[in-house]
Amino acid sequence: MGVVLGPDETPKTGKLKSIISVLDETPALDRELLGFIEELASYYFAPIGEAVRLALPPIEREAASEIASPSLFAKKIGIARRTQRWAVAIVGDSEAKIPRGQAQLVLSHLRAVGDAPIRSLEARWPTAGSICKRLDQLGLVRIEERELAFETNLGAPVASDTPPSLTKAQDAARARLTRAIENDGGTFLLHGVTGSGKTEVYLNAIASAKAQSRGSIVLVPEIALTPQLVSRFRARFGDELAVLHSELPARERLAMWTDLRSGRVNVVIGARSALFAPVEKLGLIVVDEEHDSSFKQEDGVRYNARDMAILRARRARGVCVLGSATPSLESEHLVTKAKAERLVLPSRAREQTLPKVQLVDLRRMGPGPTGDRRLSIPMHRAIEKTLAAGEQTILFLNRRGFAPSVLCDTCGKTLECPSCAVALTFHKRGKLICHYCEYESLMPKACPKCDATSLTLDGLGTEKLEETLCKAFPAARIGRLDRDVGGGRKGEAIIEKVRSGELDILVGTQMVTKGHDLPNVTLVGVINADAALSIPDFRATERGFQLMVQVAGRAGRGDLPGQVLVQTYDPEHPALTFAQTHDVNGFIARELKDRKELGYPPYSRLVLLRVDAVDEDVAKETCARVAAIARRAAEKATALQVIGPAPAPLTRLRGRYRFRVLLRSVERRALRYGVACVLAARSELPRAARLAIDVDPVQLL
In the predicted structure, residue 643 carries a pLDDT above the cut 70:
yes
Residue with the bigger pLDDT between 495 and 329: it is 329
Please give the pLDDT value at position 150.
47
Quick one: pLDDT at residue 488?
A: 56
Q: 168-345 is classed in which CATH architecture?
A: 3-Layer(aba) Sandwich (3.40)
Q: What is the distance between the alpha carbons of residues 294 and 274, in angstroms, rounded to a whole number?
A: 13
Q: What is the pLDDT of residue 204?
A: 92
Cα dihedral 470/474/479/485 (nearest 10): 40
For the domain covering 605-695, report its CATH number: 3.30.70.600
Helix orientation angle between 226-237 and 488-499, rounded to the nearest 10 degrees: 70
From residue 573, alpha-carbon distances to 530, 541, 593, 605 in Å are 9, 9, 16, 27
Separation between Cα atoms, residue 561 and residue 522, nearest integer Å: 6
How confident is the model at residue 187, as a pLDDT? 96
Looking at residues 116-144, what average pLDDT do you find? 85
pLDDT reported for residue 487: 58
Give the model confidence (pLDDT) of 354-375 as tens digits.
888 899 998 888 888 888 878 8
Q: Per residue in 276-297, pLDDT tens?
A: 999 989 999 999 999 999 899 9
The model's pLDDT over 563-613, given as tens digits with 9 standing for 90+, comes to: 899 999 999 999 999 999 989 999 999 999 999 999 999 999 999 999 999
Position 275, amino acid: L
Cβ 556 vs Cβ 562: under 8 Å = yes
Distance, CA of 250 to CA of 516 (rounded, Å): 27
Bridge-based pairing state of the strands 319-324 and 341-345: unpaired
Q: Which amino acid is at 294?
A: S
Residue 41 has pLDDT above 80, yes or no: yes
Q: Which range is least confidently modeled, 78-82, 334-338, 506-510, 646-650?
A: 78-82
For residues 6-35, average pLDDT: 82
Checking if the pLDDT of 637 tops 60, the result is yes
DSSP for 109-162 reads HHHHH--EEHHHHHHHSTTHHHHHHHHHHTTSEEEEEEEEPP--S--S------
**Strands of the sheet with 440-442, listed across from one edge:** 425-426, 431-433, 440-442
Contacts (Cβ under 8 Å, ≥6 apart) of 391: 520, 521, 522, 523, 560
Share of the chain above pLDDT 70, in %: 91
Please give the average per-residue pLDDT across 637-659, as a whole number: 91
Asked whether residue 135 carries a pLDDT value surpassing 60, the answer given is yes
Say how many C-beta atoms besides its own lie within 10 A of residue 51's C-beta.
22
pLDDT category at 148 given cuts 50, 70, 90 is low
Helix (H, G, I), strand (E, B) or coil at 447: coil
Averaged pLDDT of the chain: 85
Classified as helix, coil or strand, 523 is strand
**Paired residues of 605 in beta bridges:** 665
Looking at residue 479, the DSSP 8-state letter turns out to be: E
Q: Walk across the sheet containing 690-695 and list its strands.
A: 641-653, 656-665, 605-613, 690-695
Confidence at residue 62, expressed as pLDDT on a 0 to 100 scale: 40
pLDDT of residue 18: 84
Q: What pLDDT shows up at residue 61?
A: 42
Residue 72 has pLDDT above 60, yes or no: no
Q: What is the mean pLDDT of residues 550-561?
A: 78
273 DSSP 8-state letter: G
- Tell me what pLDDT residue 59 has: 63
pTM of this structure: 0.82
CA distances from 131 to 103, 111, 193, 438 (A): 6, 15, 41, 58
User: Which of 25-34, 82-91, 467-476, 654-663 has the weakest average pLDDT?
Assistant: 82-91
- C-alpha 431/C-alpha 73 separation (Å) is 43
Give the DSSP per-residue string, 285-317: EEEETTT-GGGB--SSS--BHHHHHHHHHHHTT
Supply the pLDDT for residue 151.
46
Residue 459 has pLDDT above 60, yes or no: yes
432 SS3 class: strand
Q: CB-side exposure of 28: number of CA atoms within 13 Å? A: 24
| Domain range annotation of the chain | 82-148, 168-345, 356-404+459-594, 405-453, 605-695
- Work out the percent of the chain whose per-residue pLDDT is above 90: 38
User: What mean pLDDT is predicted for residues 68-82?
Assistant: 49
Q: Is the pLDDT assigned to residue 698 strictly greater than 80?
A: yes
CATH 3.40.50.300 given to domain 356-404+459-594: yes
The answer to which of 114-123, 479-488, 667-676 has the lowest mean pLDDT is 479-488
Residue 403 has pLDDT above 90, yes or no: no
Residue of 364 and 146 predicted with greater confidence: 364
CA distance 48 to 613: 25
> What pLDDT sits at residue 76?
46
Q: Are 608 and 643 in contact (CB under 8 A)?
A: no
Are the folds of 168-345 and 356-404+459-594 the same?
yes
Query: What number does CATH give the domain 82-148?
Result: 1.10.10
- pLDDT over 90 at 15, yes or no: no
